[in-house]
């Protein structure tokens, strides 16, 4: 939506500009999916097609006034085909597709975002369009339990309106998200089916490589081997698309006449390697974004790489130390045991000494006593002898 702040100030935001539906061009033949995802999508299409029978002919619409809509959630990593499949569903149903992104709905005017949400539902109903909310976690995130800031009130109001509109909407709504865990639980209950978009395996990747080129017009060199590319590079459909475009740009930029130019295997190889390297850089910047300490280091010479390496080698040191811990502990226990034995022996020796000393002392005392006794006896004998001699 192109917004004009001055016009908005006087007349309020222009809600008509939010809601232009497009004619879907891509079909299920443009997308290669793992069998389970394909089955889930086929099942979704059956539900959509048989909806009128169930709720019209079978009378369920008369028994249930709300919750008649068909809401689906496409969840999965970026570039796995969620957007193409939304387009393909609209194409199969012969309906226009109304794509909505949160940043297009968000308004700086209090209460206006929620009104924009209501407006897109009204417009989709009017145009009989399939309504597609891209990056839906931004709009259907969990409500705040305590509301003391304006933005929290605003976010809760948006989810409440979304839930109400979803309840009343008679058509097909598709949500797409990379972060389904962020959804508000009440919102999740109103979704009829969650469809998981997984990363493609080697077999699907090979088909995706093929689907990304024009089978007749794109000039390929004879050495091109999509099977080998699929086997070697674990990439998403979005990555493969970008690699094919890069490869084609490289091939066309080479010298010579355009008629002679061909996209060769090395172009595709370089293309996919660059795409995957760029993705790793993005992952790393995400990582530094989450770790403010590391983000600061990324500006220094050597940058994050050096720091990550230093951290990695410290981690190895720590791991070695942890691995050596049981040995160190048993060595320490042994030393403690030996020390305890030494103290015990020293104590025992001192006890023996003390006992000996005690025994020695006792023997001495006994000897002294015996001597005193002997002296006493001798003097008694002498005295007796003296007395006897007097008597005699």
Ligand X SMILES: Nc1ncnc2c1ncn2[C@@H]1O[C@H](COP(=O)(O)OP(=O)(O)OP(=O)(O)O)[C@@H](O)[C@H]1O
Instruction: Give the C-alpha separation, 386 to 367, whole Å.
Output: 28
Residues 6+ apart with CB under 8 A from 281: none
**Spatial separation of the C-alpha atoms in residues 55 and 57, rounded to whole Å:** 6
Interacting residue with ligand X among 19, 70, 80, 137 (CB under 6 A) = 80
CA–CA gap between residue 174 and residue 371 (Å, rounded):
119
Nearer to ligand X, 237 or 271 (CB): 237
Of 19, 32, 112, 304, the one binding ligand X by CB under 6 A: 32
155-184 footprint of ligand X as x/- string (CB under 6 A): ---------------------x-x------
C-beta of 82 vs 267, nearer to Mg ion = 82
The nearest distance, CB 242 to ligand X, in angstroms, is: 8
Helical packing angle, 237-252 and 265-290, nearest 10°? 130
Q: Per CB under 6 A, which region of 78-86, 109-117, 263-271, 358-366 contacts ligand X?
A: 78-86
Helix segments in 190-302, DSSP class H:
202-211, 226-232, 237-252, 265-290, 292-297
The helix or strand, by DSSP H or E, that contains position 58, with its residue range, turns out to be none
Q: Of 48, 117, 191, 208, which one interacts with ligand X (CB under 6 A)? A: 208
Smallest distance from the beta carbon of 87 to ligand X, in angstroms? 8
Q: How far is CA 120 from the centre of its chain?
A: 32
Which of 37, 83, 116, 177 is close enough to bind Mg ion by CB under 5 A?
A: 83
Cβ closer to Mg ion: 83 or 107? 83
Site for ligand X contains 33 (CB under 6 A): yes
If the CB atoms of residues 82 and 95 are measured against Mg ion, the closer one turns out to be 82
Helix (H) or strand (E) holding 158: helix 150-168
Show the beta-strand stretches assigned E in the chain.
70-75, 97-101, 130-134, 172-177, 193-196
114 or 243: whose CB is closer to ligand X? 243
CA distance 370 to 70: 119
Minimum separation from the CB atom of position 293 to Mg ion (A): 33
Q: Which stretch binds ligand X (CB under 6 A): 79-87, 104-112, 226-234, 361-369?
A: 79-87
What is the crossing angle of helices 237-252 and 202-211, to 10°? 40
Does 81 sit near ligand X (CB under 6 A)?
yes
Residue from the set 211, 221, 276, 294 that interacts with ligand X by CB under 6 A = 211
Radius of gyration of the chain (CA): 44
Judged by CB under 6 A, does residue 124 bind ligand X? no
d(CA 161, CA 367): 112
Closest-CB residue for Mg ion?
83
Q: Which residues would be at the binding site for Mg ion (CB under 5 A)?
A: 82-83
Q: Which residues would be at the binding site for ligand X (CB under 6 A)?
A: 31-33, 78-84, 176, 178, 197, 200, 208, 211, 237-238, 241
């Amino acid at each position: 939506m192109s917004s004009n702040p001055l016009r908005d100030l006087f007349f309020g935001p222009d809600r008509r500009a939010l809601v232009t539906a497009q004619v879907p061009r891509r079909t299920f033949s443009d997308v290669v999916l793992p069998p389970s995802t394909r089955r889930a999508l086929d099942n979704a299409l059956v539900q959509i097609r048989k909806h009128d029978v169930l709720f019209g002919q079978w009378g369920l619409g008369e028994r249930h006034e709300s919750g008649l809509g068909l809401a689906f959630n496409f969840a999965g990593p970026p570039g796995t085909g969620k957007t193409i499949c939304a387009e393909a569903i609209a194409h199969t149903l012969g309906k226009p597709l109304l794509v909505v992104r949160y940043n297009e709905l968000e308004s700086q005017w209090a209460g206006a975002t929620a009104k924009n949400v209501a407006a897109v539902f009204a417009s989709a109903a009017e145009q009989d369009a399939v309504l597609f909310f891209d990056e839906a976690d931004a709009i259907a995130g969990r409500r705040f339990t305590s509301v003391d800031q304006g933005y929290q009130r605003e976010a809760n109001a948006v989810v409440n309106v979304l839930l109400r509109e979803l309840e009343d909407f008679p058509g097909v709504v598709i949500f797409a998200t990379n972060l389904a865990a962020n959804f508000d639980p009440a919102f999740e209950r109103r979704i009829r089916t969650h469809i998981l978009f997984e990363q493609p395996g080697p077999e699907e990747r090979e088909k995706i490589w093929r689907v990304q080129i024009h089978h007749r017009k794109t000039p390929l060199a004879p050495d091109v081997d999509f099977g080998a590319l699929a086997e070697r590079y674990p990439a998403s459909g979005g990555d493969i698309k970008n690699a094919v475009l890069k490869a084609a740009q490289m091939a066309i930029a080479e010298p010579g006449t355009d008629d002679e130019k061909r996209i060769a295997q090395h172009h595709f190889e370089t293309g996919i390697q660059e795409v995957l390297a760029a993705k790793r850089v993005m992952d790393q910047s995400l990582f530094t974004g989450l770790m403010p300490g590391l983000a600061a280091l990324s500006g220094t010479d050597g940058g994050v790489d050096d720091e990550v390496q230093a951290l990695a080698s410290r981690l190895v040191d720590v791991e070695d130390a942890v691995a050596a811990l049981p040995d160190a502990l048993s060595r320490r226990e042994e030393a403690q045991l030996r020390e305890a034995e030494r103290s015990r022996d020293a104590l025992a020796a001192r006890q023996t000494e003390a006992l000996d000393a005690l025994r020695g002392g006792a023997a001495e005392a006994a000897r002294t006593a015996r001597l005193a006794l002997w002296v006493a006896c001798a003097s008694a004998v002498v005295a007796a002898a003296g007395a006897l001699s007097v008597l005699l």
